[in-house]
Structure 1
Amino acid sequence: MENQIQTENYRIQKPESWAGSFEDHELINRIKESDFSNIQMNEGRDYCYFIDKKYHTTNKENSEYVCMAYTLNEPANLERASVSDIVVEENEVYNIHRISVLRDGVLIDKIPDTKIKVLDNENQSSGGILSSNKKINITIKDLRLYDVLILEDSRVKAFTDRDFLRKEFSKYVWVSPDNYWAYGSYSFTFINEREQKIAYKKTFFRDESGNVLSPEINYLQKGEKFVFEKQNYINPVDANREIFPYIDFATESSWSDLSNYIAPIYDEIFKNASLQDFAPDLVEKLNAIANQDEKIQFAIEYVQNNIYYIFNADEMNGHKPQEPAKTYETKQGDCKAKSVLLKAILDFIGVDSSIVLVNFHTDFYIKYYLPSLLTFNHAIVKINYKGDEYFIDATIRDEFGLLENRGFIYFMHYLEVKPDQELKERKPHKFPYYCINEKVEFNTTKNVGELKLNTTYKGNRANAMRRYFKNTNKREIVDSWNNFLFYSLNYSNDRNGTDLRNIFKDAAIDIVSDDKKLNEFQIKYTATVENPYYIDQQKNRFLMYFDRNVVKASARDFIHKDLSFWHNFDSEKYEISLNTDQKIDTEEKYTTQESTINNPYFDFTSRKKVTKNGATVTIDYKPLVNLEIPQNDFEKFRTDHHAVADSNFGLGIDIIEPGLMNMLKFSFKKRFK
């Protein structure tokens, strides 16, 4: 091997006794062709002859072992096998036990042909993400198509004092394998060598008909093993419509016990935190603000914008937060540190708040998981104020508004850091405001259209749009609006391929106002359009404006057997006015059509006002969000969204062309329609 220096990050050695070992002849005997393997390889797949995975946990370390043999019949797999990266955490060691190939029936040791480099995995530090992770780059020379590659390795993570939570609690999720691979033999073993009993829960396993079985919970005492074995195995899961079966392993506990474990750690921090002592200048600023609502806004935005967010991956493994005095002094901290400082400030101004633990990425699964503090990877602040609950992420920047006007965080499950708590679900939410409130006017005279859009954004939309205008070139913003309007006015069907800047003349967009207390961001777009009418193949003219943002394609297209639809749409209001100096068909269906939809999860109305030369539609959409729509309710929900898409997301008017023959043609068409 070219790199003979073995670092603390990797070693070349024999497996530990708990993992077992294989002699060369045993490996060769396990690599045999069969009817099953021939079928897979004839279909052009690579094939795994066997894979043995073992997870071993103690109160001092966690270890994972893998021994596998698979074909390199596909060039892409050959490339991936030739050069690979292994990322190890701080105090984690990657052990290489065997790298071999079986070529023409001969077992060849490839460790001498292996080059190993240890690299810093520190590519995001400028964004405040710190990690002591190392990347182990492994290059194997002279791998050939149709080799069988045999890899045997393990990873060992020893716990430090900082990993006090990992010492006390175990958490591991085994997920069934990718269904690309076919396995002659598949084996997974979980070995408990901890003092505490470990529970394991099998979830989303299916019977022979594909129906999800009820979750099954069992237990492992110290020294006991769980084994999952399959022969001639292809994971049968339908990856596009089903959740992969998984087994959750966790130290037996209850949510109440876990909250009682973690709450004293935070209580000790707050007991010794005196804002008056460590931040007198901040106290002076707070005392100068008379209005309590404005004090809360100042406190949130101070922590969000003045305390630099540092995500230290190693420290996130535990739950002991940094003292607020240190966070204030250094002006930096992770999510726990920033949340604790914000709560200390809220305590000082007399606002009821608490720290809550969340995991936005696995929020759907938390209700299925066994209770474990290691489920959570983020801390935020819950505020109880004037009878309402608000959740604030102290790590976000450039958010504004009084408490009720701030952006809404979408998630469902959380554990409050207080004694005797259970896992909680947030209530569904209805916006007290319109996230988008837009007025569109398109007035055409003598074949020239004047287009005006006045739009007010609130909440998350205001924050996002404010950032967009701050960070994006003005010409790019105008082009983006032009592109949206090109489709809304249906020009994509009669002048496709035309430069949008030649369609929307003198297009301009400006910020009208930016109210950081109401968190309202208002803009105005204007443009002139020559030849403003959409003209169909029969030379009929129309004015059309259909906002496809109103149509929720994700709701109409959603298909999944296991996942529930997560409802997180914004409240919206649009007033669209189309006016012309031409005579219009005031009885045309799509000009007059209105709708009223009262679904348990959203209310939608469209109302029309038609005159002899134009029409106005007002569209009002109020959703009930931050919830999963039960599958029994979903088809009605989908059908109602189809109704929205049935020409209820905008307005169209038909022009009656001047002249006696055109009037007769129009009358004839209406009579026999």
Structure 2
Amino acid sequence: MDNQIHIENYKIQKPESWAGSVDDQQLIEKIRESDFSNKQINEGRDYCYFLDKIYYTSNSESNEYVCMAYTLNEPSNLERASVMDVVVEENEVYHIHRISVLREGVLIDKIPDTKIKVLDSENQSSGGILSSNKKINITIKDLRLYDILILEDSRVKAFTDRDFLRKEFSKYVWVSPDNYWAYGSYQFTFVNEREEPVAYKKVFFRDEQGNVLKPETHHLKKGERFVIREENYINPVDASREIFPFIDFATESNWKDLSNYIAPIYEEIYNKSSLKDFAPKLVEKLDAISNQDEKLQFAIEYVQNNIYYIFNADEMNGHKPQEPSVTYENKQGDCKAKCVLLKVVLDYIGVDSSVVLVNYHTDYYIKYYLPSLLSFNHVVVKINYKGEEYFIDATIRDEFGMIENRGFIYFMHYLEVKRDQELQQRKPFRYPYYCIDEKVEFNAENKTGKLKLTTVYKGNRANAMRRYFKNTNKREVIDSWNNFLFYSLNYSNDRNGMDVRNIFKDASIEIISDDKKLNEFKIEYQATVENPYYVDPQNNRFLMYFDRNVIKASARDFLHKDLPFWHNFDTEKYEINLYTDQKIDTEEKYTVQESTINNPYFDYTSRKKITKNGATVFIDYKPLVNLEIPQEEFETFRAAHHTVADSNFGLGIDIIEPGLMNQLKFSFKKRFK
């Protein structure tokens, strides 16, 4: 076997005694044909003869053991099996116990045909992310279609002094297996060898009718095992509409005890040294700012933009926070380090704040998980200022504005790093400003249209647009707006296939202003359009402007039995003006149609002003966000969005063609409409 690097990240050895052992003959006997296996294979489904997974936890290590045998009947599966990558964390070792194939009834050891390389894992290796993860690349020669591949391996992570949380607390989430595979035998075992009891909670399991069962919580003492066994098994979960059943295993605890465990660790770091001692130049700058609002803005932006974000990918919760003096001196740190420094700065200027633990990616599931500090993978700063709560992510760059004008971070659950805390849930949020405030003017005269869009972005939108204009080629920006307008003006239906640059002549886009205190970013787009009217197949002409961003397709199309809809839309305001030198139908149904929607989750109005040569619509959308829509209320919520989509997201005007015959035709149409 060709080993290119020392064997420090992987080993070839027998499994641990708690995993059991299986000899070659027993292995062959486990790979048996059956009516179930033949049915799956005949249907073209890949088949796993057996899968045995064991998770072992102790106060010194965790170990994930897997033994499985599956078919290589599909070329794509054969390719994936021939070259595999296994990523291991710091202090994690990949143990290979067996690599074999069963070919025409003969068991063949493939370890001699296996080539192993250990590489640095390049995933997320830039942008301030430091990772000591390694990627173990495994190449197996001479695998053949219709082989049965047998893999037996373990991933062992030994806890060092830096992994103090992992030593103290265990957390593991088992998720029911992929429903692509059919399994002759499936078994999962959790082995607790910790001194402390481990609780486990079964969530989103279902009865025979598919109804979700109430969560169950049980406990494992040291030396006890939890086992799930299935025979001739295909996971019945509807992956597009249902959450996979899962079991959360965690060292038995409660949120109050956990907060009392973590708070002293942070308190010790806060009190290591004073800001005046380690950052006199920063203190001098802070003292020079007399306005408290501006001082707070400066403090936040200093930490966000001047301290480089280093994300240690091994385990965010595995290390104590870096001292703020070190973070300031080195001008770099991870999320904990940056947040601790920000809090120390805020303490100095007299602004109440605290560090809080969050997990953006699994925020929905935290309410189902057992209490565990290992459920969080990120920290942010909570600021109480002038009677309002704000959350600041110190790792984000290029964000601006007084605190009330800054972007909003979407998440629901957090644990404050203070003593005697419970898991908290944020209140729903209503923006105090419009994230998008846009005025559209389209004037058609003779055969030419003059188009101007003036847009003010605020909050998250301002930050995003500021970055977009900074990092994107000007021509690409203009093309993006041209493509958007191609659909908004309905040209996609009468000049599809045309180059948008030939439709929107002399298109330009400019930054009009950028207010870093109000966090307002204002731009203006202008273009000339020849033949500005949309012409339908009957040669009727229209001026139309419908902004499809106003339609929330994700709300209209949402379908899920278990997940509630997460409401996170921006406030928006539009004024759309369409004017022409032609006579228009001032009574056309959709031209004059207005709407008013008031429900617990958003207010929406469209108001019209009609003249003989044009019209204006004023659209105002104010959602209540950062909340889940209860399933029993969702269809009413969806119906309201359908109302918006029913021609209430823009404006269209019908042109009355000149000439006596056209006038008679129009009068006749109106009379018998």
CA shift for structure 1 position 121: 1.5
Determine the C-alpha separation between the residues in 2 that align with 1:634 and 1:206.
23
**Comparing 557-566 with 111-120, which one deviates more in the overlay?**
111-120
**In 2, Cα distance between the equivalents of 1:449 and 1:132?**
59
Task: For residue 275 of structure 1, report the CA deviation from its aligned partner.
Answer: 0.4
Q: Kindly state the Cα deviation for residue 499 of structure 1 after the two structures are TM-superposed.
A: 1.3
Provide the rounded CA distance (Å) in 1 between the counterparts of 2:315 and 2:21.
Answer: 35
Alpha-carbon displacement from aligned partner over 1:23-64 (angstroms, at most 9, x marks no partner)? 111011111100000110011011101011101100000001
1:229 aligns with 229
CA contact (8 A) 1:533 1:541 kept: yes
Q: Is the 8 A contact 2:100 2:111 kept in 1?
A: yes
- Residue 370 of structure 1 aligns with an amino acid whose one-letter code is L
Q: Deviations over 1:533-589 (max 9, x none)?
A: 111111111111001010000000000000010000000000001111111110001
What SS does the aligned partner of 1:643 have? helix
The CA distance in 2 between the partners of 1:665 and 1:485, in whole Å, is 32
Q: For residues 494-513 of structure 1, what are the structure 2 equivalents within 5 Å?
A: 494-513=494-513
1:521-560 aligned at under 5 Å gives the runs 521-560=521-560
The reply on whether 1:277 has 2:277 as its aligned counterpart is yes
Equivalent position of 2:30 in the other structure: 30
Q: Helix, strand or coil: the match of 1:655?
A: strand
Whether the aligned pair in 1 keeps the contact of 2:4 and 2:118 (CA below 8 Å) is no
CA distance in 1, matches of 2:319, 2:125: 22
1:357 matched residue in structure 2: 357
How large is the Cα RMSD of the aligned pairs? Answer: 0.9
Give 5+ residue unaligned stretches, structure 1: none
Paired with 2:329 and 2:2, the residues of 1 have a C-alpha distance of: 48
> Who is 1:211 aligned against?
211
**Aligned positions of 1:322-401 closer than 5 A:** 322-401=322-401
Q: Distance in 1 between matches of 2:245 and 2:369?
A: 13
- Offset of 1:125 from its aligned partner? 4.0
SS in 2 for 1:222: coil
CA distance in 2, matches of 1:3, 1:344: 50
For residue 293 of structure 2, what is the aligned residue in structure 1?
Answer: 293
**Which residue pairs with 2:489 in the alignment?**
489
The residue identity in structure 1 corresponding to 2:154 is: S
SS in 1 for 2:3: coil
Matched-pair contact (CA < 8 Å) for 2:443–2:578: yes
**Aligned AA (1:171):** K
Q: Are residues 315 and 101 of structure 1, via their aligned partners in 2, closer, same or farther at CA, if it must alter by over 3 Å?
A: closer
- Show the counterpart of 1:40: 40
What letter corresponds to residue 270 of structure 2 in structure 1?
Answer: F
Offset of residue 128 of structure 1: 1.2
Amino acid at match of 1:74: E
CA distance in 1, matches of 2:453, 2:6: 65
Q: What amino acid is the match of 1:616?
A: T
Instruction: Map 1:386-535 to 2 at 5 A.
Output: 386-535=386-535
Give the match for residue 119 of structure 1.
119
Cα offset, 1:626, TM superposition:
0.3
TM score, norm. by length of structure 1: 0.99
1:5 is displaced (CA, Å) by 7.0
- What residue in structure 2 maps to residue 132 of structure 1? 132
Q: Find out whether 1:158 has 2:121 as its counterpart.
A: no
Q: TM-score, normalised by structure 2?
A: 0.99
Q: Deviations over 1:190-229 (max 9, x none)?
A: 0000000000000000000000000000000000000000
Distance 2:206 2:326 in 1: 51
CA distance in 2, matches of 1:492, 1:400: 37
Q: Distance in 2 between matches of 1:54 and 1:338?
A: 38
After superposition, the C-alpha distances for 1:220-275 in whole angstroms (9 at most, x for unaligned) are: 00000000000000000000000000000000000000000000000111122300
- Look up the equivalent residue of 1:485 and give its one-letter code: L
| Matched residue type, 2:542 | F
Distance 1:672 1:122 in 2: 69
Shift of 1:319: 4.6
Residues 563, 317 of structure 1: alpha-carbon distance in 2 compared, 3 angstrom cutoff: same
Deviations along 1:366-390, one digit per CA (max 9) or x if unpaired, are 0000000000000100000000000
Question: Which is further off, 337-346 or 316-325?
Answer: 316-325
Pick which of 162-171 and 86-95 moved more: 86-95
Count residues with an aligned counterpart. 673
Check the 8 A contact 1:122/1:132 in 2, yes or no. Answer: no
| Structure 2: distance between partners of 1:593 and 1:312 | 56
What do residues 390-409 of structure 1 show as CA deviations (whole Å, max 9, x unaligned)? 00000000000000000000
Q: Residue in 1 aligned with 2:633?
A: 633
Q: In structure 2, how many angstroms separate the alpha carbons of the residues matched to 1:509 and 1:200?
A: 57
Change beyond 3 A, Cα 1:122–1:529: closer
1:575 counterpart = 2:560 = no
| DSSP-derived class of the 2:157 partner | strand
Partners of 1:162 and 1:315 within 8 A in 2 = no
Aligned to 1:307: 307
- Where structure 2 has 5 or more consecutive residues not aligned to the other structure, the ranges are none
| 1:198 alignment partner in structure 2 | 198
Deviation digits for residues 148-189 of structure 1 (CA, Å, limit 9, x no counterpart):
111111111000000000000000000001001000000000
The Cα shift of 1:119 comes to 1.0
Matched residues in 2 for 1:2 and 1:448: separation?
72
Quick one: distance in 2 between partners of 1:22 and 1:109?
14
AA partner of residue 58 (structure 1) = S
Bigger shift: 307-316 or 336-345? 307-316
Aligned residues with identical type, % of pairs = 82
Deviation of 1:126 (Å):
3.6
Q: Residue 2 of structure 1: CA displacement?
A: 2.3
Alignment partner of 1:518: what SS?
coil
Superposition deviation, residue 133 in structure 1: 1.1
Letter paired with 1:435: C
How far apart, CA to CA, are the structure 2 residues paired with 1:537 and 1:380? Answer: 56
Question: What residue in structure 2 maps to residue 613 of structure 1?
Answer: 613
**1:39/1:213 CA distance change after superposition, 3 Å:** same
C-alpha displacement of 1:6: 5.4
The Cα shift of 1:127 comes to 1.5
1:666 maps to a residue whose letter is F
SS at match of 2:510: strand
The letter for the 1-side match of 2:439 is K
Q: Is the 8 A contact 2:5 2:118 kept in 1?
A: no
Q: 1:371 is aligned with what amino acid? A: P
Deviation at 1:123, TM superposition (A): 5.2
Partner amino acid for 1:327? Answer: T
Q: Which amino acid aligns with 2:655?
A: I
CA shift in 2, pair 1:375/1:315, >3 Å: closer
Aligned to 1:100: 100
Deviation at 1:316, TM superposition (A): 1.7
Separation of aligned partners in 2, 1:227 and 1:103? 31
Report Cα offsets for 1:69-124 as digits up to 9, x if no partner: 11111111111111101111111111111111111111111111111111111454
Instruction: Give the equivalent residue in structure 1 for 2:73.
Output: 73
Distance in structure 2 (CA, Å) of the matches to 1:474 and 1:8: 50
CA distance in 1, matches of 2:4, 2:547: 64
Instruction: Work out the CA distance in 1 between the residues paired with 2:165 and 2:333.
Output: 20
Is residue 248 of structure 2 the alignment partner of residue 256 of structure 1? Answer: no
Distance 1:602 1:568, change over 3 A: same
